[in-house]
Amino acid sequence: MSINPEIAKRRTFAIVSHPDAGKTTITEKFLWFGKVIREAGHVRAKANRSYTVSDWMKIEQDRGISVSSSVLNFPFEGCWFNLVDTPGHQDFCEDTYRALTAVDSALVLIDSVNGVEKQTIKLMDVCRMRHTPIITFINKMDLDGRSVLDLIDQIESVLKIKAIPFTLPIGVGKLFKGVYCIADNTFNVYNAQSGHQEILQMSGPDDPKLVELCGENWVNQFREEYDVVTGGMDPFNHELFLKGEMCPVFFGSAVTGFGVRQLLNAFADLAPAPMPRETDKRTVDPSESDFSGFVFKIQANMDPKHRDRTAFIRICSGQFQRGDKVYHVRSERDVRLAAPTAFLAKDKEVIDTAWAGDIVGINDPGLFHIGDTLTKGEKMSFSGIPDFAPEYFARVTLLNPLKSKQLAKGLKELTEEGATQLYQPFKSAIPVIGVVGELQFDVLKFRLMSEYGADVSLDRIPSFGVRWIVGDPAEVEKFVTDNGGDCMRDKEERFVCLFPNEYRLTLAVKNYPELKFVETSLG
């Protein structure tokens, strides 16, 4: 089946890394190279500097961290990029995991000073499970970091993927001279004072011009690394790359934009166009004429003035036209998608057409849930969109009783985004929230106040873990009656028990052998 040229030029990828590796900074540079922003923001922006485009929430700007995935669309070298900038902090990892279900490849960003870090390892495990093709960028070469060969070895031994350097740095830290491209024997000259970049053609690594530009000591070290890389490592294999078993490696500095163009060129040349997707019925090919897609993220109040709510849809096949009617599989009804939007983080632009591979936003009146499938009428559901069991819990106490409606609306809308789970206790009117990471509590409290005017206190509940109670309805009812103080209803009105310790869970399993106590809402 021949692929439509519009679909063939789509590149949909996520950026994943440990916090502070430079992820948001490199995102800004991508947008700058794509000519969609005039000035790249800086993560720790001051009053006289621009904020980063992708960190659009006020709490992100205040703290200098990403707490929510943002989607950015931009053109580059004849390709159309759909970039998902994900949170690096582990407390927001469930947003990153869901984002990885919506992309065809990923950029793994590594800090040259700290090497491979804990959160990168976790995210890489998710990529490996999904066989996601990976391109690696080793950032902050303008700082004194680890040796080149040590960093490459770490990628292979810790991230468990074959690393193939496409570029190599010459010099390091304040004496960083530039990046040599192995494939075409070009040298990208780094000038720290002017920020000017110049790409020079070389005859090879032994070209005497390199010594003139960089000095003999740095060039000798580079040539040793070049010999190891080209002589002792496997050649690049595109098939292994597409299986997620081999990754190209690039070096540079995101904050100066150095080496970023080569990285973008690699995504244009190497990263896959939209890939086939599995459903519970069959495999969907992107070149099929009929539209299909799934919701992987819901975001409330991207524009606080309008109290909007946006469903992010990954288009998996076909073409989508503004105003098309589509079949919403879960509700078994047709819906009209009136104003699909492309993104520059919170800035939206209504578009007329979108293709397989694109990520579009749809105004959500409360109809969509994460994981929902949309088709042209076919009853199928895309698989692999995860749901997460919370690890931390707190009671939500409203400090101003006159704001009860605002609290109810805020909890409903914010928990539907998927990062926070809402529960109603069996014997109490005070709602309980559960999160994967504790920092989510701060975000929820902040957003309830700033977006809904509901000031709350969050009182932590010590817990061993939450379990969904599955079994004969009469037996479930008996258990809930006997253990009412620890039982709650989730958003789907299913009973769950928040066990305060392992002993209570063990006792429940022993006393109610006909019931199952399962760790996820999927049972």
Describe the chain by its helix, strand, coil percentages, rounded to 5.
Answer: 30, 30, 40
* CATH code of the domain containing 406: 3.30.70.3280
**Separation of alpha carbons 145 and 154, rounded Å:** 13
Last residue of one domain, picked from the residues 269, 291, 314: 269
pLDDT at 485 over 80: yes
pLDDT of residue 91: 42
pLDDT of residue 132: 92
According to the annotation, is 194 in a ligand binding site?
A: no
pLDDT band at 55 (very low <50, low <70, confident <90, very high): very low
382 in a domain, yes or no? Answer: no
Asked if 410 and 454 touch (Cβ cutoff 8 Å), the reply is: yes
Same domain, 340 and 294: yes
According to the annotation, is 268 in a ligand binding site?
A: no
Query: Any residues with CB less than 8 A from the CB of 161 and at least 6 apart, and which?
Result: 124, 128, 134, 155, 244, 245, 246, 247
Same domain, 234 and 260: yes
Q: What is the pLDDT of residues 233-253, one digit of tens each?
A: 788 999 999 999 999 999 998
According to the annotation, is 18 in a ligand binding site?
A: yes
Tell me the residue length of the chain.
523
Same domain, 48 and 153: yes
105 three-class SS: strand
pLDDT at 63 over 50: no
> 25-39, 305-319, 412-426, 448-462 — which one is most confidently predicted on average?
448-462
Nearest to 342 by CA among 358, 356, 327: 358
191 in a domain, yes or no? Answer: yes
| Residue 427, strand partner residues | none
Q: Mean pLDDT in the chain?
A: 84
* CATH code of the domain containing 39: 3.40.50.300
Last residue of one domain, picked from the residues 269, 301, 335: 269
Same domain, 220 and 77: yes
More confident call, 348 vs 201: 201
Say how many C-beta atoms besides its own lie within 10 A of residue 122's C-beta: 15
Same domain, 30 and 132: yes
Residue matched to tokens 């005070």: 430
Same domain, 321 and 225: no
According to the annotation, is 88 in a ligand binding site?
A: yes
pLDDT of residue 335: 93
According to the annotation, is 22 in a ligand binding site?
A: yes
According to the annotation, is 89 in a ligand binding site?
A: yes
According to the annotation, is 19 in a ligand binding site?
A: yes
pLDDT at 130 over 60: yes
Q: In degrees, to the nearest 5, what angle opens at C-alpha 487 toward C-alphas 484 and 489?
A: 125
pLDDT of residue 71: 80
Same domain, 56 and 168: yes
pLDDT of residue 120: 82
Query: Any residues with CB less than 8 A from the CB of 154 and at least 6 apart, and which?
Result: 115, 116, 146
According to the annotation, is 431 in a ligand binding site?
A: no
Structural domain of 349: 277-375
pLDDT at 105 over 50: yes
Same domain, 180 and 56: yes
254 in a domain, yes or no? Answer: yes
**Separation of alpha carbons 193 and 195, rounded Å:** 6
According to the annotation, is 142 in a ligand binding site?
A: yes
Last residue of one domain, picked from the residues 218, 240, 269: 269
pLDDT of residue 306: 55
According to the annotation, is 24 in a ligand binding site?
A: yes
Task: Classify strands 134-139 and 246-251 as parallel, antiparallel or unpaired.
Answer: parallel
Task: Tell me how many domains the chain contains.
Answer: 3
According to the annotation, is 328 in a ligand binding site?
A: no
Same domain, 363 and 343: yes
According to the annotation, is 482 in a ligand binding site?
A: no
Same domain, 153 and 25: yes
Q: How far is CA 225 from CA 15, 150, 171, 459, in A?
A: 27, 11, 12, 55
According to the annotation, is 141 in a ligand binding site?
A: yes
Same domain, 214 and 302: no
Q: What is the pLDDT of residues 132-179, one digit of tens each?
A: 999 999 999 988 989 999 999 999 999 999 999 999 999 988 888 989
Same domain, 162 and 248: yes
394 three-class SS: strand
299 in a domain, yes or no? Answer: yes
380 in a domain, yes or no? Answer: no
Sign of CA dihedral 430, 434, 435, 438: positive
